[in-house]
Structure 1
């Protein structure tokens, strides 16, 4: 979120928390203003409406995830395919754990945005999915030739996308340990894909 002031980041974090707790439709601009310690006119100085807040929360969260994919891909030649997948999983789970409200808002409230605002976010989501699919294909090339890269990638996201609802990094499993667990479950299942297909 380059070019965003500390006050704007605070406003987005507060809005994400309220949207996550109350739902986007159930949260008013008056409630947002009060939670941010602003008058309603002062809140409108930062954003024109509630939909803009929602769009900025979702865009910032998915852009952060897409940036992680780009960073890991940029180092792909210098590491093994398994280490690449491990790094993606570890870093994603760390972001999910630190952005519980933003992730809930993305998964549950994106549908409330007008289609044109959703399009940019969907493009970033596709970039993230494609980055994971590429990492999986580097590890198991036949996923690509058998057209299984996307289904396996979406199954992987099915494992990790809801961890924010129950996983706590300070709990019995660290982000790294959880990433290793997910990778172990996924890789242990890859040999069985032939029979399943």
Structure 2
């Protein structure tokens, strides 16, 4: 009779994914070996292979787990009863919040998906396209002529340009964290540079209180 999985199996898999994502983010996927992943996890290589059959399966799991969470949260917000502007703000706040807790996975998704096999890469990219499409619908809803708005996709990509590359310049422990930068992004995108207020100040974004409210009402999916 086959032996069942232990109660800690899934926890161990998540732990391995987190350590592997950290290595891939710092060293790059091609430069990281399974030996290095095993060492970072405090496991033997044989034990590591019990959880993941090869380095590619680690990359697939990191990318799919991260993008699936993004797709789930935008689907949840799209089904919410908020106004069009509230919905787009919440999209921005929640995506930035998700990135804050998954910076290594986000960097891997950004830099290393190209190393996946074609079918695996397309599966991940299809989910990314779902996220972008949901944002584009939210952007279009705020513009005249919605929903047939030719600029919705380019505007959405400009928005993601602000969000996706935060990890390249935001310093851990710096004056601005993800919670304070999310309303700045929303205010800049929705109202222009004159609408941006310093974190903690008054303004349309109401930074700290509004982000906290979104976080409390929208717990992360695991």
User: Structure 1 length as normaliser, TM-score?
Assistant: 0.87
Could you say which residue in structure 2 is the equivalent of 1:69? 74
CA positional deviation for 1:171: 4.0
| Higher mean C-alpha deviation, range 88-97 or range 140-149 | 140-149
4+ long deviations beyond 6 Å = none
Could you say which residue in structure 2 is the equivalent of 1:153? 156
- Which structure has the higher relative contact order (CA within 8 Å, separation 6+)? 1
2:114 and 2:185 map into 1 onto residues whose CA distance is: 28
In the alignment, structure 2 segments of 5+ residues that lack a partner are: 1-8, 193-222
In the alignment, structure 1 segments of 5+ residues that lack a partner are: 190-197
Q: 1:146 to 1:71 in 2, by over 3 A?
A: closer
Q: 1:181 to 1:148 in 2, by over 3 A?
A: same
User: Structure 2 length as normaliser, TM-score?
Assistant: 0.78
Name the count of aligned residue pairs: 185
2:145 and 2:63 map into 1 onto residues whose CA distance is: 34
* Superposed CA offset, 1:11-67 (max 9, x none): 000000000111100000111111111111111111111011000000000001001
* Superposed CA offset, 1:123-147 (max 9, x none): 1001000110111111114364341
1:139 and 1:82 map into 2 onto residues whose CA distance is: 7
| Alignment of 1:166 onto 2:177 | no
2:111 and 2:132 map into 1 onto residues whose CA distance is: 18
Could you say which residue in structure 2 is the equivalent of 1:135? 138
Q: 1:170 to 1:134 in 2, by over 3 A?
A: farther
Q: 1:96 to 1:16 in 2, by over 3 A?
A: same
